[in-house]
A and B are shown apart, each in its own frame.
Chain A
Amino acid sequence: MPVDCIGHRSGHSGGYFKTDWVDKGLLSKLRVFLPLMPIHHPAMLAVILQCRRSLPQTPEFVTTDSAFHASLPPYAYTYPLPKSIVKRFGFRKFGFHGLSYQYVVRSAAAYLGLDLGRSRIVACHLGTGGSSVAAVKDGKSIDTSMGHSALPGLVMSTRCGDMDPMLMTHIMGIYGERADDMIDLINKRSGLLGVSDFSSDIRDLIPRLDYDPNAKLAFDMYVYRLKKYIGSYCAALGGMDALVFTDDLGLHNWLLRERVCRDMAWCGVLWDAEANRRATGDGISLLSARRSRVKVLAVPTEEELVVCWEGLRLREVPHAAVA
């Protein structure tokens, strides 16, 4: 089967928010942002270069997970740091998992018969690696939990999520911890793994909740942080119409969803514990009661499909016209 073009998904694009063909200029931009995604970017860059060597005639494009969050308003993406610092380092919130959000909000709206252009959706992308939450108003992202890097926000499998930046300077200043070690520690050895001291996979922790206090603490912290973000984005949207769970944990972990949603009547969720337990995650499932004002859904995501959509869209535009 001939390949028309090869699409790459870039977790982080720096200030670069669009889907575009790979060329020298783009490659140098991607290299600049290598340190922002220490887990994903080096691998992605290696694959791009390998494809160029093996299939030099096949065009490659990169689409980014931040593109969906290009619509964030300044009050949501601005870090209140001196302007000279912001300019020099490019500090701002970018956000990730945009391809997934783009897909699931569209599916959710279609399933519910909701006009996406007039909707308020909180979407939770809960993966076995990274996780985030997004507030989506009228189909556009208005806020999201990851930031300049993929570190902040939810408790993740190995990332700590939200953290007082002064704790980092405290530990490095007082204990002389090296920056490289700290970066490694909070990205690769914290989160569920760091708290449970056992596993980065929430599915390994759940059977131990009754007897392992560390596993219980890790699970409780995960649920707690997620609840905070859902409430926070419900407020940011001025109320919500739908709450969407996606990716591996969002689709397949009923206990997690149960613990998050069972006492959300305050914002209009009428929880259906039975429907939640029964949901298989294979297709879209409704998890809230029929008469719940806020609909809660599990929606399978298709990030690769969105990459392909973006490639098709790009091929229809003359090369020079792509900004």
Chain B
Amino acid sequence: MRLLLDADPPVVRWCRETEGAFRTGTGALGPAWASALAKRAGPLARATSISYRLRHGGDRISQPAMRLTPQVLDAVRDSVRLEPEHNGLTYEAMRTMLKLAPDVLHIVMCDTAFFLDLPPESRLYAVPARLRAGAMRRHGGGGLVHQWAWQRVRELAGPGLSGMISIQLADHTNVAAIKDGRPVDTTMGFTPVEGIPSHTSCGDIDASVVFELQASGMSMSEINELLSARSGFRALVGRPCGLRDLVRENGDPDQALARKILLYDIVKYVGAYAAVLGGVDALCLVAEDPRRDGPLIKALCRELGFLGKVKAVVLKGDIWRIMSCRAAAVEKEN
């Protein structure tokens, strides 16, 4: 049995995989968390591995999947200040699990590791050197999915594949430009807020907005919370709004605007990445539920007609399956 954990504040989602069969659930971190989890997922000490999805690896976690050693745990603690919400929860989950199941193989799956070696011109912000030191750079996100997408499309398309744009269609949609398996650029930046708006975050906006908000008396943590948790589609529509609510227009003009912004921003990034790749061989759309998202995918493909004849591949991508196959690879190495 493999146990996979993914922080999704305020809860931790879990998935237990036994010989290809998945069982999932959620739980809130607290004194009773681990015992409740063991009751539903099975005895923790009998797991072959426990894997954690880390949203933001900072500049110290260099592999998409690696063993959780004390040094790696230290790097995770270090990364909490970059992504307090998800990483803080993940870090606590790791400490609890390491105590309860010290003999099990613990694995970190890092969403930003794939993007660690982005080229300097896409990785760096155009600021003086002291503001682009260390972790102050583009980290991206969804790296596990994009790297997997490249491998899958490569299997399908063969060795002729060079420039690919990968679109992860989700509540927090993000796009990556990949050349010969290596990352070239991606929409999420220093934090996942930059890029395409999500169900709760604002995406690309004029950074000087921060100073106007601050001048009005808002604190930095209030501004962070505003831009990352109270903006995006929910702000446009005026109520919680995820990808599933944007699949087709429902007659509400605010929802139509949110849907149009999502499509438009994806289209603009595809154009930008086609330009930096010098042309595209394949476009890959990864959706958790391609059937449900069908109308959105169709609308997107219509708007991408300017690319001409480019192979478009739709993959059903599920973070649990991707994590599970990576965990199996790390288990084998041990």
Which residues from chain A sit less than 8 Å from chain B, CB to CB?
A: 35-36, 74-76, 78-83, 85, 89, 91, 93, 143, 147-149, 151-152, 155, 160-174, 179, 182-183, 185-186, 189-192, 194-195, 197, 217-218, 220-221, 223-225, 227-239, 263-267
Name the residue on B nearest A226 (C-beta): B275
On whether the beta carbons of A148 and B190 are closer than 8 Å, the reply is no
On whether the beta carbons of B207 and A163 are closer than 8 Å, the reply is yes
B183 located at the interface, meaning its Cβ lies under 8 Å from any Cβ of chain A in the complex: no
On whether the beta carbons of B194 and A164 are closer than 8 Å, the reply is yes
On whether the beta carbons of B264 and A165 are closer than 8 Å, the reply is no
**Known: A220-B121, A229-B272, A232-B272. Is A81-B205 also a contact (CB below 8 A)?**
yes
Which among B128, B235, B303 is the interface contact of A83 at CB below 8 angstroms?
Answer: B235
CA distance A148 to B206 in the complex (A): 6
Q: Which B residues from 168 to 221 make CB contacts under 8 A with A? A: 185, 189-191, 193-194, 197, 202-216, 220-221
Q: A179-B211, A192-B126 are in contact. List 8 more A-B contacts (CB 8 A).
A: A76-B264, A79-B206, A152-B204, A164-B138, A164-B194, A169-B227, A228-B185, A235-B270
On whether the beta carbons of B261 and A165 are closer than 8 Å, the reply is no
Name the residue on A nearest B195 (C-beta): A164
On whether the beta carbons of B278 and A235 are closer than 8 Å, the reply is no
CA distance A185 to B185 in the complex (A): 25
21 contacts across the A-B interface (CB closer than 8 A): A76-B264, A79-B202, A80-B258, A80-B261, A81-B227, A82-B226, A82-B235, A165-B193, A165-B202, A167-B190, A167-B207, A183-B211, A186-B127, A195-B128, A197-B129, A218-B126, A234-B275, A234-B306, A235-B271, A236-B264, A267-B275
On whether the beta carbons of B81 and A194 are closer than 8 Å, the reply is no
On whether the beta carbons of B208 and A149 are closer than 8 Å, the reply is yes
On whether the beta carbons of B125 and A160 are closer than 8 Å, the reply is yes
CA distance A267 to B81 in the complex (A): 42
Secondary structure type dominating chain A contacts? helix
How many A-B pairs have beta carbons closer than 8 Å: the answer is 233
B230 located at the interface, meaning its Cβ lies under 8 Å from any Cβ of chain A in the complex: yes
B269 located at the interface, meaning its Cβ lies under 8 Å from any Cβ of chain A in the complex: yes
Contact with A along B109-126 (1 / 0, CB 8 A): 000000000001110111
**Known: A75-B257, A75-B260, A80-B261. Is A220-B120 also a contact (CB below 8 A)?**
yes
On whether the beta carbons of A231 and B232 are closer than 8 Å, the reply is no
| Residues of B close to A80: CB separation below 8 A | 197, 202-203, 205, 231-233, 235-236, 258, 261
On whether the beta carbons of A236 and B231 are closer than 8 Å, the reply is no
Q: How far is the CB of A23 from chain B (nearest CB, A)?
A: 27
Q: How far is the CB of A263 from chain B (nearest CB, A)?
A: 4
B136 located at the interface, meaning its Cβ lies under 8 Å from any Cβ of chain A in the complex: yes
Interface size class, chain B: 35 or more
On whether the beta carbons of B189 and A164 are closer than 8 Å, the reply is yes
On whether the beta carbons of B211 and A266 are closer than 8 Å, the reply is no
On whether the beta carbons of A231 and B120 are closer than 8 Å, the reply is no
CA distance A78 to B207 in the complex (A): 14
Q: How far is the CB of A176 from chain B (nearest CB, A)?
A: 10
Q: How far is the CB of A135 from chain B (nearest CB, A)?
A: 9
**Known: A91-B209, A148-B208, A152-B206. Is A221-B126 also a contact (CB below 8 A)?**
yes
Q: How far is the CB of B210 from chain A (nearest CB, A)?
A: 5
Q: How far is the CB of A28 from chain B (nearest CB, A)?
A: 19
| Residues of A close to B150: CB separation below 8 A | none
B11 located at the interface, meaning its Cβ lies under 8 Å from any Cβ of chain A in the complex: no
| Residues of A close to B227: CB separation below 8 A | 81, 165-166, 169
On whether the beta carbons of B206 and A160 are closer than 8 Å, the reply is no
B151 located at the interface, meaning its Cβ lies under 8 Å from any Cβ of chain A in the complex: no
B224 located at the interface, meaning its Cβ lies under 8 Å from any Cβ of chain A in the complex: yes
Name the residue on B nearest A176 (C-beta): B220
**Known: A79-B202, A174-B81. Is A228-B276 also a contact (CB below 8 A)?**
yes
**Known: A160-B127, A165-B227. Is A233-B271 also a contact (CB below 8 A)?**
yes
Which among A89, A164, A197, A267 is the interface contact of B207 at CB below 8 angstroms?
Answer: A164
| Residues of B close to A264: CB separation below 8 A | 275, 278
Q: How far is the CB of A217 from chain B (nearest CB, A)?
A: 6
On whether the beta carbons of B264 and A75 are closer than 8 Å, the reply is yes
| Residues of A close to B194: CB separation below 8 A | 164-166
| Residues of B close to A93: CB separation below 8 A | 206
Q: How far is the CB of A156 from chain B (nearest CB, A)?
A: 8
CA distance A174 to B268 in the complex (A): 33
B61 located at the interface, meaning its Cβ lies under 8 Å from any Cβ of chain A in the complex: no
CA distance A223 to B119 in the complex (A): 14
| Residues of B close to A235: CB separation below 8 A | 267-268, 270-272, 274, 304, 306
Which among A147, A173, A233 is the interface contact of B206 at CB below 8 angstroms?
Answer: A147
Name the residue on B nearest A234 (C-beta): B271
| Residues of A close to B131: CB separation below 8 A | 167, 171, 185, 194
Which among B215, B220, B257 is the interface contact of A169 at CB below 8 angstroms?
Answer: B220
Which of B82, B121, B272, B280: most chain A Cβ within 10 A? B121
| Residues of A close to B257: CB separation below 8 A | 74-75, 78
Which among A74, A163, A164, A172 is the interface contact of B220 at CB below 8 angstroms?
Answer: A172
B228 located at the interface, meaning its Cβ lies under 8 Å from any Cβ of chain A in the complex: yes
On whether the beta carbons of A185 and B128 are closer than 8 Å, the reply is yes
On whether the beta carbons of B268 and A224 are closer than 8 Å, the reply is no
Which among A89, A228, A230, A233 is the interface contact of B212 at CB below 8 angstroms?
Answer: A89
Name the residue on A nearest B223 (C-beta): A169
| Residues of A close to B306: CB separation below 8 A | 234-235, 237-239, 267
B242 located at the interface, meaning its Cβ lies under 8 Å from any Cβ of chain A in the complex: no
On whether the beta carbons of A266 and B128 are closer than 8 Å, the reply is no
| Residues of B close to A230: CB separation below 8 A | 275
| Residues of B close to A233: CB separation below 8 A | 268, 271
